Amino acid sequence: MRGQTFLGAIALGLLAAGAYVGLVASPPDAFQGEYVRIMYAHVPNAWVAYVAFAITCVASALYLAKRTPVYDYIAHSATELGVVFTGLALVTGSIWGRPVWGTWWTWDARLVTTAVLFFIYLGALLVRGLADDPRRGARLAAVVSIVGFLDVPVIHYSVVWFRTLHQPASLTRGDIKIAPPMLAALLLGLLAFTVLFAYLLTLRIRLARAEDAGEAA
Amino acid sequence: MGWIALAYGIVLITLTTYVLVLRRRLRDATRARGTPTQHSSVR
Amino acid sequence: MTTIDRVAAVTSKELLLEWRGRQTATAMGMVALLVILFLGVVLGSEPARAPAVLWVAMGFATVLGIPRLTQAEVEQQALETLLLYPGSREHIYWGKFLALVVMLTALLAFLWALVGVLFNIPIWTHLPALIGIGVLGVIGLAAIGTLLAGVVLHVRARELLMPLLLLPLALPVVLGCVRLTEAALAGRGEGMWLVVLGVFGLTALLVCPILFEVVMEEP
C-alpha cells in the first residue's frame, strides 16, 4: 500500500522530468523541427503497450496451467492497460504523422499491426465482460489473448509483405538517426512510462482482487 | 506547436482520468467489501 | 469407436443439422453475394480486383457462419449431451472443424463461379492453383473459426462479437489468399505467401484443439 504510493510518486516525478526534458531541454530535430518532441510522448506509449501484451500472454498461459486467480487478475489488468496505451500510441502516432509525414495514417506494417492488436485485446476484454460466468470469462479471455499474441508476428509480416509489393519504401521511424540529447530524452520517457505502467498495473491488480472478493462476498 | 500540445494533452488527460477512475473504483470496491462485515456485526 | 468414428459422427451431425435447415449456408451465401455485388459496383469489375473482392467476401461470410456452428448447442441445450458422449473434447473440435471446412469449400466454389462470370476471369485455366489456394485459405479460416465458435458459446451478443474476434485474427489468411490468387491468375508463383499460410494453418491446427478443450470446460 505504502510501497504503491511511493511507486506512484516516483512515476509522477519521472514523468514531470521527462516532460521537461522532452519539451524544453532537448534540442529540436534537424528535419522534423519541434515536432520531434511528440516522439517522446508516442514511443513510450507504444513500448508500454507491447510490454502489457507480453505480460497478458504469459499471465494467461500461467492462469490456464495453474488456475490460480492471481494470474487472471494480472492478465485482466495488463489487457486493460494494454488497450489504453495502444489507443494512446495510435492517437499520438497519428498526431505526430500529420505534421511530419503530412498524413494522419499510412498503411505501414507497424501501424496496422498495432491497430489490429488493439482490436484483438478489445475483443478479449469484451469476451470477459459478456461471458455468463466470471470464471468462464477469465478462461475465454485467456484463450483469445494467447491466440492473439501468437498471431501478432504472422500479422506483422503479412502486412509488411502485402504492402511492399506496391510501395517499396514506406516511412519507418527506425530510419531516423538519433542524436545523444534526444536519445536521453527518449530513454527518460521510456523509463518514466515503465514505472508509471508498473504503478498502474499494481493499482489495477488490487482493484481486480477487491472486486473479485466483493462479488464472492 | 499546436500538434505537440495536442499530443501531450491527450496523453495527460487520458492517463489522469484513468488513474482517477481506478482509484475511485478501488475505493468503492473496498467499501463494498466492508459492507457485509458491518451488517454481520450489526446482526 | 475409433477417433475417426467420433470425429465423423460430430461432422455428420453438424452437416445433417445444416442440411435440414440450410439457414447458415443461405445466409453466408447471401452475404458473400452482396459483398461481391457491392464491391463490384463500387470498385468496378476489372479482373485485377477479383481476388481481393472474393476473399473479403469469404471473410465476412465466415464471420456470419461461425456463431451458427454452435447455435444448436445454445438453443437446444444440446451441449451437455454432446459433452456426455465418449471421447475427448478434441473430437468435437475436429468434427466441427471438418463440417466448417465442407461448408466453406462449398461456399468458395460457388463464389468462384460467380466471380469468374462477373469479373470475367478464366477460372478453368488456373484451376489447380486456385484449388490449392482455396484449401489453404479454408483450413486457416476454419481452424481459427471453430475455436471462436466455442469461445462465443456462453457469451452474450455472440453475433456482434464475432467480427471483432475473427477479422483481426484471420487477417493474415485473407491477405495471403488475395496475394496468392493474384499471383496465380498472373501465372506467377509466390513461395513466401505459401509459407505464411502454411505456418498460420499449422500453428492454428496445433494450438486451437488444445485451447478448445479449455474453452469447453464447465465453469
CB contact under 8 A, B15 and A213: no
CB contact under 8 A, A200 and B14: no
Cell numbers for C58: 469469404
Chain C nearest C-alpha distance from A157 (Å) = 8
> With 50 as the cut, is the pLDDT of residue C173 above it?
yes
Count of beta carbons in the 10 Å neighbourhood of residue B27: 12
Query: Could you list the residue range(s) of the whole structural domain that residue C112 is in?
Result: 3-215
Q: Encode pLDDT of A12-28 as tens digits.
A: 999 988 888 888 878 88
C-alpha–C-alpha distance, residues A98 and A110, integer Å: 16
For residue A33, which phi and psi values (nearest 5 degrees)? Answer: 65, -140
A137 in Cβ contact with C154 (< 8 Å): no
Q: Which residue has the cell 498503411?
A: A107
CB contact under 8 A, A37 and B14: no
Residue A215 at interface with chain C, using a CB cutoff of 8 Å: no
pLDDT recorded at residue B39: 46
Residue A109 at interface with chain C, using a CB cutoff of 8 Å: no
Provide the 3-class DSSP secondary structure of residue A28: coil
Q: Which residue has the cell 483469445?
A: A144
Instruction: Select the residue from B1, B4, B26 to test the A interface by mutation, using most A Cβ atoms within 10 A.
Output: B4
Residue C187, H or E segment: none
CB contact under 8 A, A88 and B1: no
Say which residues have a Cβ less than 8 Å from residue C185's Cβ, sequence separation at least 6.
C47, C50, C51, C121, C126
Q: Encode pLDDT of A1-12 as tens digits.
A: 678 888 888 999
Say which residues have a Cβ less than 8 Å from residue A144's Cβ, sequence separation at least 6.
A120, A123, A124, A127, C151, C165
Which residues of chain C have a CB within 8 Å of the CB of A120?
165, 168-169
Instruction: Select the residue from B1, B8, B28 to test the A interface by mutation, using most A Cβ atoms within 10 A.
Output: B8
pLDDT recorded at residue A217: 59
Cell numbers for A169: 519504401
Q: Encode pLDDT of C93-138 as tens digits.
A: 999 999 999 999 999 999 999 998 888 888 888 888 999 999 999 9
Chain B CA closest to residue A206: B26
Query: DSSP character for C119?
Result: T
C-alpha–C-alpha distance, residues A135 and A5, integer Å: 31
> With 60 as the cut, is the pLDDT of residue B37 above it?
no
By Cβ distance, the residue of C168, C193, C217 closest to A119 is C168
> With 60 as the cut, is the pLDDT of residue A33 above it?
yes
> Radius of gyration of chain B from Cα atoms?
19
CB contact under 8 A, B4 and A37: yes
Residue C210 at interface with chain A, using a CB cutoff of 8 Å: no
Chains touching chain B at 3 or more Cβ pairs under 8 angstroms? A
Q: How far apart are the first and last CA of chain A?
A: 22
Q: What is the dihedral of CA B3, B5, B8, B14, to 10 degrees?
A: -100
Helix, strand, coil shares of chain A, percent, nearest 5, are 85, 0, 15
Nearest C-alpha neighbor of C213 from the set C103, C59, C119, C91: C91
Count of beta carbons in the 10 Å neighbourhood of residue C16: 10
Residue A38 at interface with chain B, using a CB cutoff of 8 Å: yes
CB contact under 8 A, A147 and C169: yes
> With 60 as the cut, is the pLDDT of residue A165 above it?
no
A151 in Cβ contact with C172 (< 8 Å): yes
C-alpha–C-alpha distance, residues C20 and C37, integer Å: 28
Which tops the pLDDT comparison, C76 or A87?
A: A87
Domain count, chain C: 1
Domain count, chain A: 1
By Cβ distance, the residue of B8, B30, B33 closest to A41 is B8
> Radius of gyration of chain C from Cα atoms?
18
Query: Could you list the residue range(s) of the whole structural domain that residue A212 is in?
Result: 2-216
In the chain, the amino acid numbered C145 is G
